[in-house]
Amino acid sequence: MEKLTQAPLDEQTTALNPSLAPDPVFDLIRQLLSIGFGLVPVVLVLHLVWIYGRNPLRSFGLDFRRPVSDLGLGLILFVTMGAGTLLVYAVGRSLGLTTAIIGSSMNDHWWTPIVLTLAAVRHSLVEEVMILAWLVDRVSLLRRTPFPPADLGTNTTWLPTTTTDVVAVLLVSSLIRASYHLYQGIGPGIGNAIMGVVFVLVYLKYRRVMPMVWAHLFLDVAGFVGFPVLESLGWFGH
């Protein structure tokens, strides 16, 4: 809302991943600390599931038991969502609904690509573990609908089993995902809402969050690390 009152959205710029200190050493330290602290909520969620007698990695499908299928589905989602993201961004810019997005405004150092990749890992884990897997688990648990897949032994995965539950999960997850991207403009908010719906449906079908973690990681690495290439093509920052 603040950006809507400042100037037309198409005349504004949103810079992601800024430098945190003028000195390179302190900048690196602060970047790594920021990434580490950003992962604390994920660790807390996994711990909360664990202390109630469930293996969160297996319950959420956050493991490497199916590396090929997870990676393959992740790549498909990456290509699909990536193309959709670029389309929504281009349309949003042309309609004046989206700010110019700079994938990284961090100073150029030898460690910059490494930090940006780690930042992408953080974003993918935070959003997909918390806003997807754990949220589906919590909303479904409120309805008391246990659905334990056979290969998880005594671990219980809570999934929605009625149309009402599925709609509730879709709305809550997609709206939360969209809401914290609105600072980039209306276009990214709509795009992330659509991605949220797709990711929830895929998660409910395969009961594994790893494909979405891979897809989100690839999307962010492309946007953060590949930003100079995208900027030279005129997609960002213009």
pLDDT digits (tens, 9 = 90+) for 186-229: 888 899 999 999 999 999 999 999 999 999 999 999 989 886 55
Q: Is 21 within the bounds of a domain?
A: no
Q: Is 48 within the bounds of a domain?
A: no
Query: Which comes out higher in pLDDT, residue 233 or 61?
Result: 61
Q: Is 164 within the bounds of a domain?
A: yes
Are the C-beta atoms of residues 119 and 35 closer than 8 Å to each other? yes
pLDDT at 133: 95
HEC profile for the chain? CHHHHHCCHHHCEEECCECCCCCHHHHHHHHHHHHHHHCHHHHHHHHHHHCCCCCHHHHHCCCCCCHHHHHHHHHHHHHHHHHHHHHHHHHHHHCCCECEEECCECCCCCCHHHHHHHHHHHHHHHHHHHHHHHHHHHHHHHCCCECCCHHHCCCCCECCCCHHHHHHHHHHHHHHHHHCCHHHEHHHHHHHHHHHHHHHHHHHHHCCCHHHHHHHHHHHHHHHCCHHHHHHCCCCCC
Q: Work out the pLDDT band at 183, boundaries 50, 70, 90.
A: confident
Whether the pLDDT of residue 150 is over 60: the answer is: no
Q: Work out the pLDDT band at 52, boundaries 50, 70, 90.
A: confident
**Alpha carbons 78 and 128: distance in angstroms, whole number:** 14
Q: Is 177 within the bounds of a domain?
A: yes
Q: Is 145 within the bounds of a domain?
A: yes
Q: Is 224 within the bounds of a domain?
A: yes
Q: Work out the pLDDT band at 147, boundaries 50, 70, 90.
A: very low
pLDDT at 153: 42
Q: Is 199 within the bounds of a domain?
A: yes
Phi/psi at 105 (nearest 5 deg)? -110, 20
Domain that holds residue 84: 38-43+66-232
pLDDT in tens, 75-134: 999 999 999 988 988 888 888 877 888 778 888 899 999 999 999 999 999 999 999 999
Q: Is 182 within the bounds of a domain?
A: yes
What is the residue-averaged pLDDT of the chain? 85
Domain count along the chain: 1
Whether the pLDDT of residue 159 is over 70: the answer is: no
pLDDT in tens, 55-83: 999 999 999 999 999 999 999 999 999 99
Q: Work out the pLDDT band at 234, boundaries 50, 70, 90.
A: low
pLDDT in tens, 169-178: 889 889 999 9
pLDDT at 74: 98
